[in-house]
Chains A and B, each alone.
Chain A
């Protein structure tokens, strides 16, 4: 393993051991709340659409909104400063502190101030900063960086914090429970707020029209920091601007649901500073609050720090719609296992962090963790503003690829005639050309399989391409699905079907999991469909996963060329592998002409979705194999597309008793589980799934998984064999149970 891969593996291993359990417990808890809360409303998607539209419009009109905010804040009696970068913002903020002779500052949690590292700048001018958000306070005591956008100390358990506080503060009675710790921190931090010379907050939103900042908290610390001292500095990225309070409702409804599964945050403070509330001077305890706010001072620091460039960047612009709820992190299987200290950069963590880090700190910061996004797309549904986070991560990966160089390029150059420039990491190039590899492997099977398994080859593959030798490789079949179909006698009913379909054979189905392809053909034919099989061309999913967009674009065009004639003939396209359907429905619009992409997306179906449609339209279910107890793992991209329901509906209709897994992702995620630096994380994620299927009353069930990767992960972690749903329901007469 290369030194870089070993370093990454070691870091992930360490975090799995030290922080993984606490992060998993906390994200699980928050996700349960999110699903529960969202289930109470049926207009979540409508609200998401509204929120998205407001952000699109606001970012479009950003220069105008900045000027409107300046006018309204100044009319209120405050100041606005637009800071070009971190240094500029810190210079302005420290000058305010110095002009006030400030010795102490109470700060509410704000990722934007983390981004500019304002605490260090303030310490340099002798200002003592106290973090007042209790999670952030824990980190300040521990001298650590946040590991989550919303729960900065997500990675620490109650016991960890008790140990930290007892060692640091040496209280008379050792602190033990969450209640003890909260009480202690509240009292300690509360005193600091009452003594503070300056209060500093972020802003979740800034309403340009009235110069109002919106602060969303549960603790109330932001309110105290904003209204207690006479001087308030709010620091916000320019992207936080929205036109007015009229646009606030969808965000009020969405942000706490997405962040923590609450209907609404405990405090949504809409403050138009300098506020009318009287200054509370605890040094003059018996002076009545005099009803005057004349001595209040307010500064709004709007931070650019790369955001204007992001706005001009067609691929990164969406990042600016982010409302920092952290739902992308919580819904991410990898994040759930290692947290933001692995899945994050200099400041931002989780799925959207790649966009933020690329924009505000540059590609190097984003590159450190970008590969932890497997493109499973579970965050797409979780995002309250409908940001296509996996696409942003793909784009950044592509840009990172173009900046790298490698000495082993010659090894895969001949094997992998892709469209991406030389310099793409050899591991990525290998996995990004899986179709070509599979074709070669199949043509030379079984020698290729034997060679691939041979110890010295595994060592070489691990050293050169980072393919972990602990992972079983796919066994290529000599007879491909396409060959099998072409060598068949056409059915007597060919040409007479009620419907006509073309099966799209992905590389896995064509060269490796050929049985599921055959089962798909038999099932469709049994239901009265005239089936043909298209040529096997890689869909582009594999190179997309590696950030090789040029290659994916070339693949997409080839697939569209091969399927267009069938579409012209009115055939439906049936897809076995859910990730390829996701490519057709979600990514092709970015890779192909709009008309072409739309036609393919509109006429493509996941195989079980298609079976469901056939049964609904009167096809005879009795020809299929019915009944049985099933443990079913859907596929992450299939769930994002809401296609998983059809498999379950077909099972239900055919009398199967089904237990469905509820983890976000199997952890294998295409090539991810093969990569030596990620192998252990992949297995750790997979074990969460395996645990569900090893439970009593589930472990005897037939194991079924929709995705090729999920199938591989399950077979590596469990003793049972696993099949695709279509293999289960395919006509009984020809069905041969697979053994391992």
Chain B
């Protein structure tokens, strides 16, 4: 069942032009090194057995890092039907880290995948009640057609990558 969900999530990500790496917690650091372009900035992931501590991702973020980093790494939840990241705003700076660098790498536990918008709203309702009341539903790279054609990477990231931790 879980494999099925991550498969479908990966399909939706692909449709949204987002690449995806599926990995078990033990191999996370190596897998991340393969997808992160330096310099990189991040915020603590808060996933059991998965950490940025042994990686080249700098923590905590500074304004300079936000401005100069190629990659920003944060934890996210996922919406299976659209390949959407749910980025919860926090005091560590997940919102700006997911927004300013050229590439956003979202790390998502397979158990944090929600089937669709409705299920996500229901979960968010509980999160809001618990005080975690800001979240961004981000699907693919920032884009605009304001200059006459679709161009990726406007104010937000130009590229997006998902790392799905399949055993969490």
Contacts and interface: CB of A to CB of B under 8 A. Distances in A.
A248 interface: yes
A151 interface: yes
A276 interface: yes
Interface string B132-154: 01111111111111111101011
Given A219-B156, A276-B89, A277-B95, 5 more contacts: A158-B148, A245-B128, A264-B139, A267-B137, A268-B136
Contact of B67 (A132, A194, A266, A284): A194
30 contacts: A133-B146, A151-B145, A156-B148, A178-B151, A182-B151, A193-B155, A194-B67, A218-B154, A219-B154, A219-B156, A223-B155, A224-B155, A228-B96, A245-B124, A252-B137, A263-B82, A264-B139, A267-B137, A267-B138, A268-B136, A269-B135, A270-B133, A271-B134, A272-B128, A276-B134, A277-B93, A285-B64, A289-B62, A289-B92, A292-B91
B118 interface: yes
Given A161-B147, A263-B82, A277-B134, A219 B142 contact: yes
A688 B1 CA distance: 51
Contact of A264 (B117, B148, B155): B117
A211 to B, nearest CB: 8
Contacts of A286: 62-64
Given A266-B138, A272-B128, A277 B96 contact: yes
Given A193-B155, A245-B121, A249-B121, A151 B96 contact: no
Contact of A269 (B63, B67, B84, B136): B136
B96 A227 contact: yes
A456 interface: no
A291 interface: yes
Interface string A178-199: 1101100110011001100000
A77 B13 CA distance: 37
A416 interface: no
A533 B85 CA distance: 63
A264 B124 contact: no
| 8 A-B pairs with least C-beta separation | A220-B156, A158-B148, A135-B146, A178-B149, A285-B64, A272-B133, A220-B155, A178-B147
B147 A181 contact: yes
B105 interface: no
Contacts of B36: none
Contact of B146 (A134, A252, A265, A281): A134
Interface of A: 76, 132-135, 138, 151, 153, 156-158, 161, 177-179, 181-182, 185-186, 189-190, 193-194, 210, 212, 218-221, 223-224, 227-228, 244-246, 248-249, 252-253, 260, 263-273, 275-278, 280-282, 284-289, 291-293
Nearest to A218: B143
B122 interface: yes
A76 B89 CA distance: 14
B137 A212 contact: no
Contacts of A185: 147
B90 interface: yes
A158 B146 CA distance: 9
Contacts of A151: 145-146
Nearest to B41: A289
Contacts of B128: 210, 212, 245, 272
A219 B121 contact: no
A68 to B, nearest CB: 14
Contacts of B133: 76, 210, 212, 270, 272
A266 B139 contact: yes
B61 interface: yes
Contacts of A212: 128, 133-134
Contacts of B94: 277
Contacts of B137: 252, 264, 267-270
Contact of A285 (B63, B149, B151, B156): B63
Interface string B56-79: 000011111011000000000000
B93 A134 contact: no
B50 interface: no
Name which of B82, B141, B155, B157 has the most chain A CB atoms within 10 A of its CB.
Answer: B155
B67 A285 contact: yes
Contacts of B142: 218-220, 266-267
B144 A280 contact: no
A277 B155 contact: no
Contact of A267 (B82, B91, B151, B156): B156
A182 B122 contact: no
A185 B148 CA distance: 13
B125 A245 contact: yes
B10 interface: no
B99 interface: yes
A223 B147 CA distance: 20
B75 to A, nearest CB: 14
Contacts of B146: 133-135, 138, 151, 153, 182, 219
